[in-house]
């Protein structure tokens, strides 16, 4: 994502500060650690996972071309209540907190770009909350099929079921039902 008011020189310096993420496991940020980086998803997905009553819950999925971090932890410098995991084969770049804040200080135009990223993420989160509250699991799954079919191929069924707010067995039933209808 590139805001139109960012010059090529600023964009170039920003890109130079990003580092390729290389992890043996898929965990970018473990629960209880302070988020010290903001991530850019070049390919694949990053899953933001919370825990509710001891059960994992996929709260957000960042796709190619999106930024993600645990914003509460990143900005307040507090331990994260969430986990960030990248999908197998994902290509992720990280920008450290110090580099991020130095770039914001050096280039005030980045503040506006950052605000746009936050606004777009908030809009997506609010739409997701509305969907979870107003759609049945089957309706929400059908919406995902029509709007974001690529997620269904890349995200493991367990994470997809928690993203829908249901158990994996319920997702299997919904899939079977929809296959029988088609």
Residue-wise pLDDT for 157-181, tens only, equals 888 899 888 899 999 999 898 888 7
What mean pLDDT value characterizes the chain?
89
**CATH number, residue 37:** 2.60.120.10
Residue 128 placed within a domain: no
Residue 67 placed within a domain: yes
Residue 178 placed within a domain: no
Residues of the chain with pLDDT > 90, as a percent, come to: 51
Contact present, 40 and 86 (Cβ < 8 Å)? no
Residue 22: give the domain boundaries: 8-108
CA–CA separation, 58 and 142 (whole Å): 18
Residue 2 placed within a domain: no
Residue 14 placed within a domain: yes
pLDDT given for residue 4 in this prediction? 53
- The per-residue pLDDT string of the chain (182 residues; one tens digit each, 9 = 90 and over) reads 445 567 888 888 888 999 999 877 899 999 999 999 999 999 999 999 999 888 888 999 998 999 999 999 999 999 999 999 998 889 999 999 999 999 999 998 888 888 888 899 899 889 999 998 999 999 999 998 899 888 888 788 888 899 888 899 999 999 898 888 76
């Amino acid at each position: 994502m590139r805001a139109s008011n960012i010059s090529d020189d600023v964009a170039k310096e920003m890109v130079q500060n990003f580092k390729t993420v290389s992890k043996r496991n898929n965990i970018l940020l473990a629960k209880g650690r302070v988020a010290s980086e903001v991530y850019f998803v070049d390919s694949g997905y990053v899953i933001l996972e919370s825990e509710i009553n001891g059960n994992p819950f996929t709260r957000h999925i960042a796709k190619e071309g999106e930024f993600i971090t645990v914003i509460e932890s990143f900005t307040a410098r507090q331990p994260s209540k969430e986990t960030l995991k990248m999908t197998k084969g994902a290509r992720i770049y990280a920008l450290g907190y110090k580099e991020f804040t130095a770039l914001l200080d050096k280039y005030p135009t980045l503040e506006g770009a950052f605000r746009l990223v936050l606004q777009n993420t908030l809009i997506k989160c609010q739409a997701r909350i509305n969907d979870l509250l107003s759609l049945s699991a089957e309706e929400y799954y059908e919406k995902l099929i029509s709007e974001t079919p690529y997620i269904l191929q890349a995200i493991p069924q367990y994470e997809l079921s928690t993203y829908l707010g249901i158990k994996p067995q319920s997702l299997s039933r919904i899939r079977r039902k929809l296959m029988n209808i088609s």
